[in-house]
Amino acid sequence: MKSSSSNPFHRGLQVILVASSCMVIGTASANADNPIPTVADQWRVEVSPYVWAPGIKGTMGFDNGLARSADFNSSNVLSNLKSGGMIAAEAHYGKWGIMGDLVSATLQHSGSIPVAGGAATVADKITLQQTILTGAATYTFVNTKNTYVDGLLGVRAIDVTATLNGNLVGTSEKETISKTTSTVDPIIGAKGRYRLADSSWYVPFYGDIGSGGGTTNVTWQAMIGVGKSFGKLIDASLSYRALYYDMKAGGVLQKTTMQGPQLAITFKF
C-alpha cells in the first residue's frame, strides 16, 4: 500500500497549501507597507514634522512705496534661517477629515547697493518674518488600491513682516523701514498619493488656489514628491513645494514665490 505522501493528489495539495501560505504572508507584508490609507468608520490621525528649505524670489513692498527685490537662495537657506518651526497634521473619520499646516520662519539676508554712480555703497539687510497657517476640511473622493485623493476646502492665513535696514557705508547714516501684512484667504484644492508598482513607494501630491482675503490678488500652493511607507506607523517623503503670493498695493508680498525641497516624516496613529 502506498503512503499518502506519495499520492500525486496529496503532493499537489501540499504544494498548493504551501504556495497559498507564502502568498498570504507576502500579502500581509505588502499590506503592512501599503502607502494607500484605508477609509473606515474609525479615527485615523497623521502628524508630520518637516523641514522646508525654500528659496524666495519676489518684491517686498514697504510703507513709503519703496519696492525692494528679495532673493533668498535655497542653497544657503540654513544660513538665512534665524528661527522657525514646521509641522502638518490631519485627522479622518470615514471619508471626512480635517487638516492643518503651520510654517513659522524668520529669514535674513544681507547685501549692498551701489549709489551715486558707484561713488558710495549702501549696505542693506532684509528680514522676513512670516507665519503661514493653512486649515481645511477634507473629503475622500478616490480610494482605490493604488490611488487616494482628498478634496479640500479651507483658508490660509499669513502674517508677514518685512524689514529693511540700510546704512551708508563709512558713515553713521542709517534707516530702517518695516511693513506688516496679515490676511486670511479662502482656498480650494486637492491632495493625495499614488502607489508605485504595488510597492511601499508612492508619489504624494498637493495643490490649492485662493483669493478674496482683501489683501491678496491670488495665492496658490503646489507640492509633488516621492515617499515610502515603513510599516503601519511611519512614512517618509522628499518633495518639491512651492507657495505663491501676489498681494495688492500695500501688501508686503508682491508677486513672491517660495519654492524648494521639503523632507517630512509622518507618524500614523
pLDDT tens-digit series, residues 37-79: 999 999 999 999 999 988 888 777 665 555 555 666 555 555 5
Q: What is the dihedral of CA 15, 16, 21, 25, to 10 degrees?
A: 100
| Same structural domain, 24 and 51 | no
| Same structural domain, 112 and 16 | no
Identify the CATH number of the domain in which residue 189 sits: 2.40.128.90
For residue 235 the three cell numbers come to 512614512
| Same structural domain, 108 and 163 | yes
| Same structural domain, 118 and 27 | no
What is the enclosing helix (H) or strand (E) of 85?
Answer: strand 81-93
Residue with cell 507597507: 33
Query: What number of other Cβ atoms are within 10 A of residue 214's Cβ?
Result: 12
| Same structural domain, 157 and 173 | yes
Amino acid identity of residue 76, one-letter, is N
| Same structural domain, 20 and 145 | no
Total structural domains in the chain?
Answer: 2
| Same structural domain, 132 and 102 | yes
pTM comes to: 0.77
Helices (H), the chain: 8-32, 77-80
Structural domain that includes position 168: 37-268
Q: What is the pLDDT of residues 220-237, one digit of tens each?
A: 999 999 999 998 899 999
Residue with cell 502506498: 2
| Same structural domain, 3 and 127 | no
| Same structural domain, 43 and 165 | yes
| Same structural domain, 83 and 189 | yes
| Same structural domain, 9 and 91 | no
| Same structural domain, 1 and 87 | no
Q: In the predicted model, is pLDDT for residue 250 greater than 50?
A: yes
214 with 186: CB under 8 angstroms? no
